Amino acid sequence: NAGVTQTPKFQVLKTGQSMTLQCAQDMNHNSMYWYRQDPGMGLRLIYYSASEGTTDKGEVPNGYNVSRLNKREFSLRLESAAPSQTSVYFCASSEAASGRSGGYTFGSGTRLTVV
Amino acid sequence: SQQGEEDPQALSIQEGENATMNCSYKTSINNLQWYRQNSGRGLVHLILIRSNEREKHSGRLRVTLDTSKKSSSLLITASRAADTASYFCATASGSARQLTFGSGTQLTVLP
């Protein structure tokens, strides 16, 4: 099984450009999440989808939008990229909300640089 | 804001020694989880302990939870160079449907 697949792995954007980060899981998980990881700050939640058809804001949602396309796919969109959005982005999924039955499965990340 | 805070921020030990990392949190939790992250990779789930449990084991890992002190510890016994990674605690609180992660402990195991 592939688990959680994120594309692309690396991306360089110019300020003001837009892009969509893709995430897909093949474990039939109900919940999916987008986190960003910055040095010394751990992971911060951007958006999550507790179940298909629902999305909710996390700790740092400004500048981002999400789409839960179907049960497998959860995309993150940057409409107008800013240097402050330079970060490593992780998608994760879990069978039950908050990973209470078995934890989260993470993708390998997207390293985004905005210049 | 971070719910869990790991201590120490960095830890360096010799192969074969035990490594202990601590996590403190602020509000009541349903469960607490530990994850490992190797450099340049995604996080990997290690172990989950529920609020009504006090200790849990998985291979060379031992996790304790003290809800009265709002703290948890992760012990890795007989460490190996391959254990070199960052370790994060994560908490699920109340009706929250997502985890909140701490800032991590960087463990280096010297051969």
- Report whether B104 contacts B51 (CB < 8 A): no
Report the residue from B1, B98, B103 with minimal CB separation from A98.
Answer: B98
Question: For A46-55, what is the mean pLDDT?
Answer: 93
Q: In this complex, do B1 and A41 lie within 8 Å of one another by their Cβ atoms?
A: no
Q: pLDDT at position A1, please? A: 62
Dump pLDDT digits (tens) for A57-109: 999 999 999 999 999 999 999 999 999 999 999 999 999 877 677 799 999 99
Q: Is the pLDDT of residue B49 over 70?
A: yes
Sequence-distant (6+) residues with CB within 8 A of A109 are A6, A9, A37, A88, A89, A90, B40, B41, B42
Closest Cβ opposite residue B96 in set A43, A90, A98: A98
The predicted structure's pLDDT at residue A94 = 93
